[in-house]
Chain A
């Protein structure tokens, strides 16, 4: 049963022109699809092909292409295989459709992506802040946010100056390379 379903799905997906289909191995499929067609694909996968479990939605910031990549990982408990549906949306304004009506777990992932990347999901039940409640800066997971620079500006490092170091400095030695010099 599960094998037939897989074959049926492979055939079906290969025939659809707007998507790119790639079977990585017996349990992993990668699909690249236009953003406007993704909800329909997910509906098809869930309703007709038993991909009922939304394992995760991942977001990747391809800043050089000015795009966000959204990856929907859905799993079928019947065929034991995972479809990763990739789609790319423009980084500006970074708005996309929620798939909450198909997959309840989407609410968490969409909220998380909204908070960390600034992608707004229309129709998502909850776009409120969650982890970074008191953060007013830019979405931190964006590539143009430099967290190390932020930390260096915001916090003071503990400056150690123990006796052994003073002794070495008295002899003409001392710190030559700090860790931040080689990062």
Chain B
């Protein structure tokens, strides 16, 4: 809502009052807002207010050639753009019956895990900032930048890599890339104890985050929670393992769970997933050189590419949870309909509204970051 349209909130003669939390607030991820009803600093209810980031991606996609959308989809989630590209590409590949080369599959896994690492670093850094700890945020963002360096080298772009294309990836990796990636992994590995002592095993954080925004596994399932947030309630589910795509079936990794269902658990899951992603990337580095061949299967001229009529619901595991694309083609050169199911469309709206009730005002930011909610996935 534009500021000039804000209603003056009439305060009742009691401790109850309403507050606009966001859209421009350091405790909010992206441009997003809550209207919070408070009794003192206890939250009585919270209502999500979106629309500040709406660019109409789904509508835009209907007006562009199939291939042109590869430059658009990563913008739906800034911190973790690669799953968007991959998911969209997988959907088209399924509709067209394209078999992507094995090397492209491994290259995609590599990017997906690099992107997950970057997103998790961002997420825990952000969470730390909401609890007043800025050093972990700087560390998280600075180390994410090193991953972006590798993205830049691999794809030519730092944030929106636009590297995946229906049929595979757009380029093979540069010479020596895996060595430099390996060096980065060694560095990140060595950083994990630093993060632990500074943040994850910091008593200030643990006491601050425990029991904040807690949900049970039953609640999580009922509310449609997915990804690390679901695993933080003790359910070992991961699309990569349980609905596998690309080369994940050939990769060894653990689906990490934590029992608490609260902000602490969610962060600890992410912390463990940092390690799992590094583990996956090490396997990629080991395996990728032995996979020779093309990085893209032949695809039609992008200007004259009719995707056969059909529909597909394609899912991947993004750093935030279950990401799905429902893509419908009517046989034309543009998508007939693309529906993006971002994990945050649950986490940032209903789940957050529910978890906020009964918490304290200063915890809303913490809950939001612990859910790793990404508003553009809601707004689209």
**A and B: direct contact (Cβ < 8 Å)?**
yes
A133 near B49 with CB under 8 A, answer yes
CB neighbours (8 Å) of A147 from chain B are 56, 59-60, 63
- Determine whether the beta carbon of A141 is less than 8 Å from that of B54: no
Q: Determine if B324 is an interface residue (Cβ-Cβ < 8 Å).
A: yes
Q: B243 contacts A55, CB within 8 Å?
A: no
Q: In residues 89-129 of chain A, which contact B (Cβ within 8 Å)?
A: 103-105, 107-109, 112, 116
Given contacts A104-B223, A105-B224, A131-B54, contact A77 B1 (CB under 8 A): no
CA distance A180 to B48 in the complex (A): 37
Task: Please pick, from B5, B337, B345, the residue contacting A61 in the complex, using a CB distance under 8 A.
Answer: B337
Q: Which residues of A contact B337 (CB under 8 A)?
A: 58, 60-61
Contacts of B211 in A (CB 8 A): none
Number of A-B contacts (CB under 8 A): 89
The smallest beta-carbon distance between B269 and chain A, in angstroms, is 17
Question: CB distance B51 to A131 under 8 Å?
Answer: yes
Interface presence of A87 (CB below 8 A): no
Out of A58, A77, A84, which one reaches B237, CB within 8 Å? Answer: A77
Interface string of A22-55 (1 = CB under 8 A from B): 0000011000000000000000000000001111
Residues of B within 8 A of A61 (CB): 337
Which residue in B48, B243, B311 is a CB contact (below 8 Å) of A27?
A: B243
B contact residues around A108 at 8 Å (CB): 345-346, 349-350
Judge whether B50 and A141 touch: CB under 8 Å.
no
Q: Which residue of A lies closest to B336 (CB)?
A: A60
Nearest-neighbor residue (CB-CB) of A54 within chain B: B224
CB of A133 within 8 A of CB of B1, answer yes
In the complex, what residues of A have CB within 8 A of residue B222's CB? 52, 104
Instruction: Flag if A134 contacts B224 (CB, 8 Å).
Output: no
Whether A55 lies near B60 (C-beta < 8 A) is no
Query: Is B313 among interface residues, defined by CB-CB distance under 8 A?
Result: yes
Chain A residues in 8 Å Cβ range of B349: 108
B192 vs chain A, min Cβ distance (A): 30
User: Residues of B contacting A104 with CB < 8 Å?
Assistant: 222-224, 350
Min CB distance A3 to B, Å, is 14
Closest A residue to B5 by CB, please name it: A134
Query: A159 interface residue, CB < 8 Å from B?
Result: no
Q: How far is the CA of A20 from the CA of B51 in the complex (A)?
A: 38
Within 8 A of A (CB), among B34-64: 48-51, 54, 56, 58-60, 63
Asked whether any CB of chain A lies closer than 8 Å to the CB of B242, the reply is yes
Establish whether residues A148 and B326, one from each chain, have CB atoms under 8 Å apart when the complex forms.
no
Tell me, in angstroms, the Cα distance from A84 to B59 when the chains sit together: 22
User: A54: which B residues are within 8 A, CB to CB?
Assistant: 224
A82 near B54 with CB under 8 A, answer: no
Q: How long is the Cα–Cα vector from A39 to B345 in the complex, in angstroms?
A: 23
The answer to whether A134 touches B2, judged by C-beta atoms less than 8 angstroms apart, is yes
- Within 1-24 of B, Cβ neighbours of A (below 8 Å) are at 1-2, 5
Q: How far is the CA of A130 from the CA of B59 in the complex (A)?
A: 17
Interface pair B243/A105, CB less than 8 Å apart: no
Cβ contacts under 8 Å, A58 to chain B:
313, 326, 337, 339, 341
Tell whether B87 is near chain A: CB-to-CB under 8 Å.
no
User: How would residues 57 to 69 of chain A score, 1 for a CB under 8 Å from any chain B CB and 0 otherwise?
Assistant: 0111100000000
Q: Does A132 contact B (CB under 8 A)?
A: yes
Question: Is A53 in contact with B224, judged by CB distance below 8 angstroms?
Answer: yes
In the complex the two chains form, is B341's CB within 8 Å of A56's CB? Answer: yes
Roughly how many angstroms separate A105 CA and B49 CA in the complex, as a whole number? Answer: 17
Instruction: Tell me the nearest residue of chain A to B327, going by C-beta.
Output: A58
* Pairwise interchain contact A55-B339, C-beta atoms closer than 8 A: no
Q: Which of B5, B235, B328, B341 contacts A55 (CB 8 A)?
A: B341
| B328 touching A60, Cβ below 8 Å | yes
From A80, A103, A132, A148, give the contact of B63 (CB < 8 A): A148
Q: How far is the CA of A58 from the CA of B91 in the complex (A)?
A: 15
The one of A28, A73, A105, A133 in contact with B51, judged by C-beta atoms closer than 8 angstroms, is A133
Q: Which residues of A contact B (CB under 8 A)?
A: 27-28, 52-56, 58-61, 71, 73, 77, 80, 82, 84, 103-105, 107-109, 112, 116, 130-134, 140-141, 147-148
Give residues in B with beta carbon < 8 Å to A.
Answer: 1-2, 5, 48-51, 54, 56, 58-60, 63, 221-224, 226, 235, 237, 242-243, 311, 313, 315, 322, 324, 326, 328, 336-337, 339, 341, 345-346, 349-350, 378-379
Q: List 23 A-B contacts (CB under 8 A).
A: A27-B243, A54-B224, A55-B224, A55-B341, A56-B341, A58-B313, A58-B337, A58-B341, A60-B337, A73-B341, A104-B222, A104-B350, A105-B224, A105-B350, A107-B350, A131-B379, A132-B51, A140-B56, A140-B59, A141-B59, A147-B59, A147-B63, A148-B63
Beyond known contacts A105-B223, A147-B60: 19 more, CB 8 A cutoff: A52-B222, A53-B226, A55-B341, A56-B339, A59-B339, A60-B336, A71-B326, A77-B221, A77-B242, A80-B243, A82-B313, A107-B350, A108-B350, A131-B50, A132-B51, A132-B54, A134-B5, A140-B56, A141-B59
